[in-house]
Structure 1
Amino acid sequence: MAGSVRLIPSGFEFVDDVWGGIYRGGSYMLIGARKSGRTLMGLQFALEAAKQKEVCLYFTNMRPKDLMIQAASLNFDIQSYMNHNLIIVVRVAPPNDAYAVPNPDNYLIDYLRDIITVVEQYNPSRIIFDELTPYIGFRNIELLKDTFLNTLETIEERDVTSFFVVGEPATEKAQQIINAISQYVTGVFQLRKSQSKINNRFHGGNIIITPNVGHTEGQFNFKYRIEPFKGVTTAPDVDDVPSKYADIKNSLAAQQKTAPHYVYTQSKQDKNEREVFNNVYNYNDFLLILNNQIALYKSTGQTFNLVSVKLNAMAQTQGLISLNQLQNSVQLSTERKDKICIKDNVLMLLIVRSNPNSVVHFLSRLKSNLPSDDIDYVETVWENISILNIEVNQDIENAEELTEESLNKAHQDPGSYLPVNKFI
């Protein structure tokens, strides 16, 4: 671990009571059956990160809307934290093609390695992977152990606290896989769901928390239940709570009560890093959205503009502004309804429900949202940005036609992109 080892709030009162919290930079695994409360626990872990003003990466194979509904059951407005980039949701596609190739293990390795890539990109304090089960079905258990251990160690070196959710093993092979990787984490939480409801009302069961490293207080077994707006809750017997952690428990509670809501500093750099909407899409999703807008235009007449933004390569090599910085500035200059995609070093912006002044207004905001307010800097960067503006019309058939025109002109006919000075 890169930083000093210390205990931090986990998001689970029963864990903080008996262990004093979890280790910063530690790794924890949650094992549970479907509908046992495992996703709620992942969300509780994420909510605690947000309360502490920590950036949390949330890897999930759930639909975003389903995740938001689950969060709402905790009275947790996850979208607001996403808008502030405190929680970054990364949707992971299922490895459906893995078992159609001769060696699926090599295919699955890439999924685990991609965790490292995304962590390096966003530099979070915590990560959650809900759930990991589809991506660890290796045939070669030793290869899985090596790959998982390498992933863990790389994450831990960055002082990132990780929380991996896996399904309850239903076969002997699945149990072997869980045994193989659970030995490497700092601690294991196991949910054992009860078949009957508690008080004929709440779902619940038993949760066992077991340390592998540290947490010398040892293993604890609690009865838990899932409560509306609270999630997974339980209260251990008073005699089970080590008295030496009373002060730590009170300290953690005090941190939660006194921690301020996230407040932006006046630094423009911080504003660019944090105060952005979650409206960036991969290319395939962007095409789907764009095709929907084309269909909507043809049925209702609702207009839109596709504005493709190109940054002069010289501006990047000279360190004036990077493509990522430009993306942040564009995000700051858009509305929630607008959509962004980057492909082949071209940033494409879909301005929904546009009007004749939409592009000019966007560019005015963009100029004021560049990384620095220095007049000379702004003018220099402004000279290195050009755009291609396409307004929807009846001749446009599909999204691919639109985006290919933008991308082809960017690389084969750069003169078709006009300097932004021509617009404002």
Structure 2
Amino acid sequence: MTGVPQQLVEVESYVSRAVALVGPLDVERVALADATGRVLAEPVRALLASPAFDNSAMDGFAVRRADVLGAGQDSPRELAVVGDVAAGPASAPVRVGPGQAARIMTGAALPEGADAVVPVELTDARAFTFGATAPTRVTILSEPAPGAHVRRRAEDADVGDLVLPAGRRLGPRDLAATAAAGYGNVPVRHRARVGVVVTGDELVPPGEAPGPGQLPESNGVLLASWLRGRGAVPTARVVPDDAAALRRVLDHLAPRVDLLLTAGGVSAGAFDVVREVLGDDDVTFAAVAMQPGKPQACGRWRGVPVLAVPGNPVSAFVSAEVIVRPVLAALHGHDDARRPERRPAATGWRCPPGRRQYLPAVVDDDGVRPAARRGSGSHLVASLAAATALAVVPADVDEVRPGDVVDVLPL
């Protein structure tokens, strides 16, 4: 155990130390239906062209443009309709020759000989009736542009093209692109299993009426929910301020998880049990130059990476966003770097000297203001719910004034 540090550790230095504890998890293949939120372990390259063939972007008539040059309301062109082409497998091939057209539906393959599509609204047919057969002749009332309303094969992606890079967190659009590229499953990183251990004699389960000196337990709820939102699988436990009980829980969780995360008891108080217990193993305690979230610890418990964050709810949340988030990204093989946005302050607030401030804030049309009406406070969990961003203020700034431009990280 490293003693209480005399100097503050820069945020980036501490985050690098924490991230170095972990590496990417193993890979598994999962069906696309189960891949939402998972992190892609390998690049996706198209197995199929998209579109797979030339097809129509409109309901209308496939034509040879040379046959309808100059067509208009005052100079219509009449063509013989020689086929009907619907989306899906064709029952018989259709070929469009000189002076001919084929009725065609959106998504249907462009018939041989045709090089443009005239929407039905620009013909004398005006509209198609469900179930009605194609007319034998059609009058074209507008000259189409070259290649009008034709989706060309591979105009979106060709076989072998990169569709998605490795490290991408998969969302609905990614999965649709993957399916269109010819895949039914994808290689993804295992979800990180995280053991969340919250300490405190004062904590009672949510929904239970607290007695004198007691508080509803919220950190376990907060961190477990946050972890699920980042693609992890949390297991949460609440432990009293008892060293033997904490050791038992940590020993039980360690072989079952990829990361241990404790909340509370990490400072220098007489009853800070996490500091007492984690000092038994390969764990370093640090005073990080951030506010909230100054007392931190990271290392290994029985060989398993462990992070220890403060127990005040806002401190726990900020620590998750600033420290746990990049560690989780490293486990998932995901580049989770965020670029802050720049916004003017709608109101002023004080900043801690010598520490970077991560202030839960509301960002609206007026600018940035503290989410809590009484300014910053690591215990103000009710106000945390109103926050839409973290305002990030450098350590050398002691006051933000109205109109000052500050960095914000959207939540």
Shorter-chain TM range is under 0.3
Query: More strand per residue: 1 or 2?
Result: 2
Using the size of structure 2 for normalisation, the TM-score is 0.25
Query: More helix per residue: 1 or 2?
Result: 1
Using the size of structure 1 for normalisation, the TM-score is 0.24
Larger Rg: 2
